[in-house]
Amino acid sequence: MDKHLPTTVSDPALRAELRDLHDDYATTLDDLDFARWVGFFTEGCVYRVVSLENFDQGLPLSTIACDGLGSLRDRVAAIRETAVFEPRTLRRLVSGTRINAIDGDEIQAQASFAIFESLSDREPHLFMTGRYLDRVVREDGRLKLRERVCVFDNYRVRTSLVYPV
């Protein structure tokens, strides 16, 4: 996916639908509803969380990398059943939704995100900022993510990256 695509498509209705997708996605993760989170993706999806530095250099190393729904489900199982981490609350804000291109059935879109983290013994802080680079398709009348690359701007992850971005 090209990292610096200009806005090339003006479709207010589709853009509003993408904003709804972003809002629903963020709320689902804020509510820790990971079973529902998996439903935002297509069967053969790609989900990656990658640093801006690695992304800009075209390096394949990702902080999180999942290929397909099975991999997303494994991630959810690890969070629920095996991971040990300090309890936390995350809140996501998503803005700047834009459509970069439409290629056949696929919409290439992006949006900016900010994630705030609250740990039990600390004041809330800005955990991560970045952008979503998406390839979206329509399945059964609703938009789904074929690919989501979460490019984070931070030079490091301050605490730990437990939950999806």
Cβ-Cβ contacts under 8 Å for 68 (sequence gap 6 or more): 43, 44, 45
- What six digits make up the tokens of 52? 């801006």
**Residue 3, domain member (yes or no):** no
- The number of distinct structural domains making up the chain is 1
Alpha-carbon distance 101 to 105, whole Å?
11
**CB–CB of 18/30 below 8 Å?**
no
Can you give the CATH number for the domain in which 145 is found?
Answer: 3.10.450.50
CB 110 within 8 Å of CB 55: no
In this prediction, residue 8 carries a pLDDT of 61
- The whole-number mean pLDDT for each consecutive block of 10 residues of the chain, a chain of 165 residues, reads 57 95 98 95 97 94 94 91 74 96 96 93 91 97 97 82 87
Domain membership flag for residue 57 = yes
Does residue 115 fall inside a structural domain?
yes
Rg (the chain; Cα; Å): 16
Domain around 87 = 12-152
Written as six digits, the tokens of 118 are 């609250």
End-to-end CA distance of the chain: 19
